[in-house]
Amino acid sequence: MKVPVLCVPVCLLFFVLGTACSREDQPPKHPPLPKVVQAIQSQPERKYEPEAKLEEAREGEKGRTEEEASALTTDTEVKEVTVAEKEPAPDEGKPETPMDAKQAEGGVYVARQGDTLMGIAARREIMEDPLKWPILLRLNRDKFGDQPVGADFAARKLTPGLMLRFITPHEAKEGVEKPSKAMWAVNVMSTSASTEGEVVSPATILAREGFPAYITPARVKGKDYLRLRIGFFENKGEAADQGERIKKLLGSEEFWVTMVSDGEYEAWAGFLESP
């Protein structure tokens, strides 16, 4: 059977319209949402507080320059040296071994191991002044006549058990009266306090010969000196005569006679009167 030609276009029209209506009835399709991918950040490893502080300290050490490290080391060394310098010497601060009552009353000192003339003269219960060793020597010159003279004489160790006479400052002061007129002394030599050894030999010779020798400190124009003198004399002429004797004994070239102050006389006269 043949289909009419007119029916073909009609059928095509209905087919197109039906298709369009079916598409409108369907819900519109939305484009898919883009996926959001969040980056996962790595969290630092948690540490206990002491461990964290230790790590921070290490990082701080790494950041120091070599110059800073050197400065810290230098400061530490300086502090150590300062502390070491302040530490007392082994014998510093040790009390002196006291004398027994018999020695103190009799005015006799028995030498002990390591004693020297200078050390004994410096003791509080003896003469309280190391420069008074020539006086101690003069009082006991019969026990030192065979010893060689030298710059170390005053610091030379004595034989333990040696018995030495002495005069205390109190005894010396009691035996002194203020002179009614000026007193004179022979200035044998003067030397810088830094070269004390130069005065030891002549002082030893004079004390062993019985001369009333004494060493007195002096400060002149800001410098410290030690003066070896013989005293005391009531007039200048007598002092000059003794000076000539001393000059020949020591072989020295010169000396001078000087008037002493009241303070110098009072400090030494009591020690020099006793032979």
pLDDT tens sequence across 101-150 = 445 445 899 999 999 999 999 999 999 999 999 999 999 999 998 889 99
Rounded Cα distance, 144 and 122, in Å: 19
For residue 141, what are the contacts with CB-CB under 8 A and spacing of at least 6? 207, 208, 210
pLDDT at position 96, please? 53
Q: Is the pLDDT of residue 94 over 70?
A: no
Q: Is the pLDDT of residue 79 over 60?
A: no
C-alpha dihedral over 219, 185, 228, 209, to 10 degrees?
Answer: -170
| 82/135: higher pLDDT | 135
Q: Predicted confidence band at 207 (pLDDT cuts at 50, 70, 90)?
A: very high
pLDDT at position 250, please? 95
Would you give the DSSP letter of residue 95? P
pLDDT at position 12, please? 52
Please state whether 101 falls in left (phi above 0), alpha (psi between -120 and 50) or beta. alpha
Q: Is the pLDDT of residue 87 over 60?
A: no
Cβ density class 239-256: b for 16+ within 10 Å, e for less: beebbeebeeebeeeebe
Rounded Cα distance, 164 and 151, in Å: 21
Strand partners, 109: 164
Which amino acid does the sequence have at 118? M
**CA 99, 101, 106, 107 torsion: positive or negative?**
positive
| Percentage of the chain exceeding pLDDT 90 | 51
Among 5-14, 97-106, 235-244, 250-259, the range of highest mean pLDDT: 235-244
**Is the peptide bond prior to 15 cis by the omega test (within 30 degrees of 0)?**
no
Q: What is the mean pLDDT of the chain?
A: 74
| 54/154: higher pLDDT | 154
CA-wise closest residue to 263 among 228, 225, 218, 212: 218
Q: Is the pLDDT of residue 47 over 60?
A: no
Q: Where are the beta strands (DSSP E) in 44-196?
A: 108-110, 163-165, 184-192
With beta carbons less than 8 A apart as the criterion, state whether 269 and 231 touch: yes
For residue 11, what are the contacts with CB-CB under 8 A and spacing of at least 6? none
Q: Is the pLDDT of residue 266 over 80?
A: yes
Token pair for 68: 């800073």
| 75/247: higher pLDDT | 247
pLDDT tens digits for 240-253? 999 999 999 999 87
Q: Predicted confidence band at 199 (pLDDT cuts at 50, 70, 90)?
A: very high
pLDDT at position 175, please? 73
Domains of the chain listed by start with CATH number: 101-272 (3.30.70.1070)
Q: At how many degrees (to 10) do helices 197-208 and 236-250 cross? A: 110
* Pairing label, strands 213-220, 184-192: unpaired
Among 33-42, 69-78, 105-114, 184-193, the range of highest mean pLDDT: 184-193
Rounded Cα distance, 218 and 199, in Å: 14
Q: Is the pLDDT of residue 239 over 70?
A: yes
pLDDT at position 179, please? 85
